[in-house]
Structure 1
């Protein structure tokens, strides 16, 4: 399984995400904000397969964290989460850096599917089109 760094300032969401990933067998390191996540990334010398980060956080937001991690560790897949449409729009210019953005609230199944797809390196837009086709959309 993968080593994942989770950056999320909401305690309930962070606990839900960390527990779900650990139950799936992943090794998870977590941080309460982007600044602490950047420190954890450096402390572990980028030894993660995936960064899963909220966009809107204090200290350093998920976009700044993604830019920092992407520059220092380009091999790490970055998946963002947000409950704010305007924050989701901010990530759209970063397709080359960010795998995808998960809208909140999300289900356990949606979270696991996105993480699995990101770790497998399946292109987000192709996965999305395939799921639409399977669902008759």
Structure 2
């Protein structure tokens, strides 16, 4: 299964998404903001398959995180989440580096499907453990 880094400043959302994705057997690591997520990515270079990040966060938002992650970890699949139309618009120019933007609120099934789709589409098949 894949190793997924989730960045969201809302504890309840971060926890919900982590539990939902873990249901599919993925290994989950969480961060409370973009800066923490970038630190985690840098410390564990090239060990993550997917970055799932909220766009609107303090310290470093999800778009800045996505830009830095795409620059430093070009093979990393990036999914953004947002509940704000203006934030979704900001992400529209990032098609080259972002797989998709998931609109909040979403169901557990929605986020699981988005993650599965990103992992399958990006690799041409599902990611599995070695």
TM-score scaled by length of structure 1: 0.87
Counterparts of 1:1-137 in structure 2 under 5 Å?
1-121=1-121
Distance 1:8 1:73 in 2: 20
Between the aligned partners of 2:31 and 2:46, the Cα distance in structure 1 is: 14
Structure 2 unmatched ranges of 5 or more: 123-130
- 1:22 Cα deviation (Å)? 1.4
Moved over 2 A (4+): none
Q: Does the CA contact (< 8 Å) of 2:2 and 2:50 recur in 1?
A: yes
Q: Which structure's CA Rg is the greater one? A: 1
- Work out whether residues 21 and 111 of structure 2, in 8 Å CA contact, stay in contact via their aligned partners in 1: no
SS at match of 1:4: strand
Provide the C-alpha distance between the structure 1 equivalents of 2:45 and 2:74, rounded to a whole number of angstroms.
12
Q: Deviations over 1:79-134 (max 9, x none)?
A: 00000000000000010000000000001111011100000126xxxxxxxxxxxx
Instruction: Give the distance between the partners of 1:120 and 1:17, measured in 2 at CA.
Output: 19
RMSD between aligned alpha carbons?
0.8
- Higher share of residues assigned helix: 1
Question: Could you tell me how far 1:46 is from its partner in structure 2?
Answer: 2.8
Q: Helix, strand or coil for the counterpart of 2:4?
A: strand
- Structure scoring higher RCO (CA < 8 A, sep ≥ 6) equals 2
Query: Structure 1: where are the runs of 5+ without partners?
Result: 123-137
Aligned residues: 122
